[in-house]
Amino acid sequence: MKVRNSIKALKSRHRDNRVVRRRGRLYVINKTQRRFKARQG
């Protein structure tokens, strides 16, 4: 999992990426390509 400043740039890497808020943090998750995971905050 990458910790990044820009979540918007990571969202556009794959069409199945979703931005989810959990416990005050922003996550990018992907059910089909699991390597596209990222966190912000």
Round to whole Å and give the CA distance between 19 and 4: 13
pLDDT of residue 23: 95
Rounded CA Rg of the chain: 9
Q: Which domain, by its residues, includes 15?
A: 2-40
Strands (E), the chain: 2-3, 18-22, 25-29, 38-40
Identify whether the C-beta of residue 22 lies closer than 8 Å to the C-beta of residue 41: no
1-32 pLDDT, tens per residue? 899 999 999 999 999 999 999 999 999 999 99
How many domains does the structure of the chain reveal? 1
Round to whole Å and give the CA distance between 15 and 24: 24
Mean pLDDT score, 32-40: 94
pTM value > 0.75: yes
Six-digit token pair at 16? 């199945």
pLDDT of residue 41: 84
